[in-house]
Chains A and B, each alone.
Chain A
Amino acid sequence: MKRAITAVLGLGLAASLALTGCSSSDTPETMPTGPVSITLAGWSLSTTPEFKTLADGFHTANPNITVELKEYDASNYDTQMTADLAAGSAPDVYVQKNLKMFYTYQAGGQLLDVSDVAKGLTSSPGGLSGYQVDGKTYAIPYRQDSWVLFYNKALFDKAKVAYPDGSWTWDKYAEVSKSLTAALKTAGSKATGDYQHTWQSTVQGFALAQTPGASLQSGDFSYLKPYYQRALDLQTAGAQPSYGTATTNKLTYQAEFGKQQAAMMPMGTWYIATLLSQQAKGDADAFDWGLAPAPQFDASTTGTSATPVTFGDPTGLGINPKIKKEKVAAAKAFLAYAAGTQGAKSLAAIGITPAASAAVADDFFGLKGMPTDDLSKFAFAKHDTKPENPVSKYTAGLQNVLNDLHSAVLSGSKDVDGAIGDAQKRAKNEVLNS
């Protein structure tokens, strides 16, 4: 371990000597007329078609510009990208896989100012504000997933419970989950009312986004309490598999929902593409499903006349400051394409939620296997999506503290109040003071 760390450190140290910051250009950037190629980072290219879709679409629109893909490992993307950036071998355009790392790249001077691209966009893509620091924009979002509620219509019918109608608060959700579990048991099914995946986001993401006044940086985590109490209650009632069972057996959310083990599941909209393809291939059962807005903190944001509050981090594209000067214009044009309507449409065609989601709802729901009811369309198109990882120097550290809280509370190792107290103390002494 120590060796691995130091190897990267040594590499980075050597490279940082060669790194001399980005030079500001006085000459205006012009679109190239001859053939140009820019490189783009992506991960798991065979199972993640979005990078190729964008690259090919852009090439068709601008035949003289070729976008070459450079593949990275999905789970070690940021570690590998960090090493490549420090070594000066990173691609011209690279993806901001999550907001947690954006701060590191931006503060480390690894992102070119792309405010002019943001200004030129005709539609305003969701999640753009997450990439703005001191009035400047450092990355352009091309996809923005938001958390919604997936539900299995077949299991609801079997249990004779009414479908979600967009008016749910979390208390209502818990109540329905319990009655679903009981009714499904009577009907001879082993499925549970809901499944909550083991990630900290499934509880904390909603709590942070929906609770009025909640803030990660405040170091006051009392806003988590009602959300954890509800999760524990559902777990004790048997309405969702316990955290212990889900972690030790490595339950996957794709199987829990796709194989009809649970009637409801809060999950990000990225799961739509997976579910469609798994149903088409037979990896998931064939059943009718629908989308509903995420359950809300209180009644003030429920109903189809209000805008439901949920969370999700954008995925964006940023430009490596070490890009050759003559390629900058081409790279910026690619960012604008990916975030614009054309890019959005091509992404929607492969089941991915583009940042400009409202503009493509019709394309999206035209896909084979998509639900067609109005609530599903509403859930997909309308929501106030807050970032799960607000950009700050403390976010990564605070999220680690809260991840410990998550496993301690849901495993029953600590009571909610005690765990929140500990986390607040740790946040104050170990993260917010550095």
Chain B
Amino acid sequence: MATLLPAPARRRRTVWRDTAVGWSFILPNFVGFAVLTLVPVLALFYLAFTNWNVFGLAEWTGPANFQRLMHDASFWTALRNTLYYTVFHIPLTMVASLGLALLLNRKLRGVAFFRTVAFFPYIAAIVATAQVWNMLFSPEYGPINHILHFFGFSGNPGWTVSADGSMPAVIIVGTWREMGYYMLIFLAGLQTIPGELYEAARMDGANAWHRFWTVTVPSLRPTTFFVTVMLTIGSFKVFDLILLLTNGGPGQSTLVLSQYIYQKGFQENQFGYASAISIVLFAICFLVTVVQFLVNKRRNA
């Protein structure tokens, strides 16, 4: 027995050393993640079942917050608006960014310049761009309505200051802002498609339209999947854009879930209730992403 001891002990020591090395590699990032993200997120799941108001103790109220949610008309309005934004923002951004990517994936003069220009909205400060867009949308003095009038459009849409026009205005700006970023991802995807595929398709007599549908779209599927997932999560969590552009108004016409969380939490100090809404938003993002992964898996199979 005694003679057998050294071998497992040494193995145990190497295992331990490997583990320690592994941990030390991820530790710097993990500590930050744990302190700033993981622990607060876990706290969120606890707080959602309490009536915590920043000071004092968090009193356990069980599912009361969630029961209140069911009957909270503002919550449903916010949820409806979030879905409205998502349903239009995702396809529009996909089409716009893919179109831009196709356009800028060919050899043309100054392509680097145009790619930079298309990417610019994404890196420009949202505070500044929201202000400029608001001025463009101004119903009486804004250039957008002037251009519409020039082309014979008779109405005077109120855009960010009308209940019907505010959400379309937000969607337009949201699409404008994000298309450059996703264009970059699509561009990277396009450049991985081997040129031989196009050549072969051309030999078989496929026109540009056919080549797009039979070569480009299938080859881009991994990229498209990634973009869809990122866009979906981004759309559900939209916040800064709306806060700066319309502040949820007029009325509640552009109130979205993340802003409602902000209102309940930081303006009305109902942190327990705000946590409950956060969990609902988390659950929605989680579910939609899982469904997308499942659909993608089945398609690839």
Residue ranges of A at the interface with B (Cβ–Cβ < 8 Å): 1-3, 5-7, 9-10, 12-13, 16, 19, 79, 82, 85-86, 104-105, 107-110, 242-245, 247-250, 396-397, 400, 404-405, 407-408, 410-414, 419, 425-426, 429-430, 434
Kindly provide the distance from the CB of B249 to the nearest chain A CB, expressed in whole angstroms. Answer: 4
- Residues 263-301 of B at the A interface (beta carbon under 8 Å): 263, 265-271, 273-275, 278, 281-282
Q: A10-B40, A108-B54 are known contacts. Are A434 and B68 too (CB-CB below 8 A)?
A: yes
- Pick the residue among B53, B54, B58, B141 that contacts A249 (CB under 8 A): B141
Q: A108-B53, A245-B141 are known contacts. Are A413 and B163 too (CB-CB below 8 A)?
A: yes
Chain A contacts of B168 at CB under 8 A? none
Kindly provide the distance from the CB of A133 to the nearest chain B CB, expressed in whole angstroms. Answer: 15
- Pick the residue among A79, A411, A413, A430 that contacts B74 (CB under 8 A): A430
Chain A contacts of B161 at CB under 8 A? 243-244, 247-248, 407, 411
Are the C-beta atoms of A245 and B139 separated by less than 8 Å? yes
9 closest Cβ contacts across the A-B interface?
Answer: A108-B55, A408-B251, A6-B40, A413-B163, A407-B249, A244-B161, A411-B250, A10-B40, A248-B138
Are the C-beta atoms of A430 and B39 separated by less than 8 Å? no
Are the C-beta atoms of B54 and A12 separated by less than 8 Å? yes
Are the C-beta atoms of B275 and A250 separated by less than 8 Å? no
Q: A248-B139, A426-B73 are known contacts. Are A1 and B55 too (CB-CB below 8 A)?
A: no
A429→B160 CA distance, assembly (Å): 28
A146→B36 CA distance, assembly (Å): 43
Q: A110-B55, A413-B162, A419-B251 are known contacts. Are A79 and B266 too (CB-CB below 8 A)?
A: yes
Chain B contacts of A400 at CB under 8 A? 263, 267-268
Please tell me if B85 contacts chain A, counting CB pairs below 8 Å.
no
A230→B221 CA distance, assembly (Å): 58
Name which of B129-137, B170-178, B188-196 contacts chain A. Answer: B129-137
Name which of B5-13, B41-49, B98-106, B108-116 contacts chain A. Answer: B41-49
Are the C-beta atoms of A1 and B239 separated by less than 8 Å? yes
Chain A contacts of B74 at CB under 8 A? 426, 430
Please tell me if B107 contacts chain A, counting CB pairs below 8 Å.
no
Q: Which of B158, B247, B250 has the most CB of A within 10 A?
A: B250
Q: A248-B137, A426-B74 are known contacts. Are A1 and B251 too (CB-CB below 8 A)?
A: no
A109→B54 CA distance, assembly (Å): 11
Chain A contacts of B158 at CB under 8 A? 244, 411-413
Kindly provide the distance from the CB of B35 to the nearest chain A CB, expressed in whole angstroms. Answer: 8
Chain B contacts of A397 at CB under 8 A? 268
- Nearest A residue to B140, CB-CB: A245
17 inter-chain pairs at a CB distance below 8 angstroms, sorted by A residue, are: A3-B37, A9-B52, A16-B57, A86-B55, A104-B53, A104-B269, A243-B161, A244-B158, A244-B161, A245-B141, A248-B142, A249-B141, A405-B251, A408-B251, A411-B158, A411-B161, A430-B73
Chain A contacts of B253 at CB under 8 A? 408, 413
- Pick the residue among A6, A12, A16, A108 that contacts B44 (CB under 8 A): A6
Chain B contacts of A434 at CB under 8 A? 68, 270, 273
Chain B contacts of A9 at CB under 8 A? 40, 43-44, 47, 52, 271, 275
Chain B contacts of A250 at CB under 8 A? 131, 134-135
- Nearest B residue to A7, CB-CB: B40
Are the C-beta atoms of B275 and A396 separated by less than 8 Å? no
A82→B268 CA distance, assembly (Å): 12
Kindly provide the distance from the CB of B250 to the nearest chain A CB, expressed in whole angstroms. Answer: 4
- Nearest A residue to B57, CB-CB: A16
- Residues 1-47 of B at the A interface (beta carbon under 8 Å): 36-37, 39-41, 43-44, 47
Please tell me if B258 contacts chain A, counting CB pairs below 8 Å.
yes
Please tell me if B80 contacts chain A, counting CB pairs below 8 Å.
no
List 16 other contacts, CB 8 Å, given A107-B55, A407-B161.
Answer: A1-B258, A5-B262, A9-B52, A9-B271, A12-B54, A16-B57, A108-B56, A110-B55, A243-B161, A244-B138, A244-B161, A248-B161, A408-B163, A408-B250, A408-B251, A414-B163
Chain B contacts of A82 at CB under 8 A? 54, 269
Chain B contacts of A413 at CB under 8 A? 158, 162-164, 250-251, 253
A9→B279 CA distance, assembly (Å): 14
A10→B58 CA distance, assembly (Å): 12
Are the C-beta atoms of A104 and B281 separated by less than 8 Å? no
A28→B278 CA distance, assembly (Å): 48
A104→B54 CA distance, assembly (Å): 9
Q: A104-B53, A249-B135, A404-B252 are known contacts. Are A1 and B262 too (CB-CB below 8 A)?
A: yes
Chain B contacts of A109 at CB under 8 A? 55-56
Please tell me if B261 contacts chain A, counting CB pairs below 8 Å.
yes
Kindly provide the distance from the CB of A261 to the nearest chain B CB, expressed in whole angstroms. Answer: 14
Kindly provide the distance from the CB of B240 to the nearest chain A CB, expressed in whole angstroms. Answer: 8
Kindly provide the distance from the CB of B290 to the nearest chain A CB, expressed in whole angstroms. Answer: 18
Chain A contacts of B141 at CB under 8 A? 245, 249
Chain B contacts of A244 at CB under 8 A? 138-140, 158, 161-162
Chain B contacts of A430 at CB under 8 A? 72-74
A405→B74 CA distance, assembly (Å): 13
A245→B55 CA distance, assembly (Å): 41
- Pick the residue among A86, A405, A414 that contacts B54 (CB under 8 A): A86
- Residues 124-165 of B at the A interface (beta carbon under 8 Å): 131, 134-135, 137-142, 158-164
Chain A contacts of B68 at CB under 8 A? 434
Are the C-beta atoms of B54 and A245 separated by less than 8 Å? no
Q: Which of A79, A396, A404 has the most CB of B within 10 A?
A: A404
Kindly provide the distance from the CB of B172 to the nearest chain A CB, expressed in whole angstroms. Answer: 14
Are the C-beta atoms of B54 and A411 separated by less than 8 Å? no
A426→B40 CA distance, assembly (Å): 31
Kindly provide the distance from the CB of A50 to the nearest chain B CB, expressed in whole angstroms. Answer: 25
A9→B261 CA distance, assembly (Å): 13
